[in-house]
């Protein structure tokens, strides 16, 4: 017997400061939720994964999948949530990783071939 596919819900709904259900949940489980979400996204970004299951609602067989193109957006949303909840240690981790990404993208890549200089006389 095969297991039926899980329903996918939009992740943005659960990473919004306007979601009252999330806000109540975060009051009780905020540190764990934020730390686990941060860890998942950073690991997925480092491993260049095409997508990840960010949230799984096991009781309802529902998941929330994040695509690779949205990893940095999830980090930004997490940062806003952490700031709002005054979880500054987690904020610092997010900012630190964002700066690492910026430094990597600002570093020029080395060319494998030599550039020949053209002299015009």
Q: What is the pLDDT of residues 42-65, one digit of tens each?
A: 999 999 999 999 988 888 888 999
Residue/partner pairs of 38-42 with CB below 8 Å, 24 or more apart: 38/75, 38/78, 38/90, 38/93, 38/94, 41/66, 41/71, 41/74, 41/75, 41/78, 42/75, 42/97
Q: Could you tell me the pLDDT band of residue 22, with boundaries at 50, 70 and 90?
A: confident
Q: Is the pLDDT of residue 96 over 80?
A: yes
What pLDDT was estimated at residue 106? 78
Of 118 and 90, the one with more pLDDT: 90
């Amino acid at each position: 017997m095969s297991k039926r596919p899980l329903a996918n819900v939009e992740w943005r709904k659960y990473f919004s400061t306007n979601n009252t259900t999330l806000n109540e949940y975060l009051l009780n489980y905020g540190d764990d939720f934020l730390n686990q979400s941060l860890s998942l996204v950073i690991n997925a970004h480092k491993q260049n994964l095409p997508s990840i299951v960010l949230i799984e609602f096991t009781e309802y067989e529902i998941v929330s999948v994040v695509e690779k193109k949205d990893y940095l957006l999830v980090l930004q949303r997490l940062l806003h949530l952490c700031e709002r909840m005054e979880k500054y240690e987690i904020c610092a981790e997010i900012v630190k990783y964002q700066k690492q990404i910026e430094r990597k993208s600002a570093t020029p890549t080395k060319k494998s071939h030599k550039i020949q200089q053209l002299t015009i006389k």
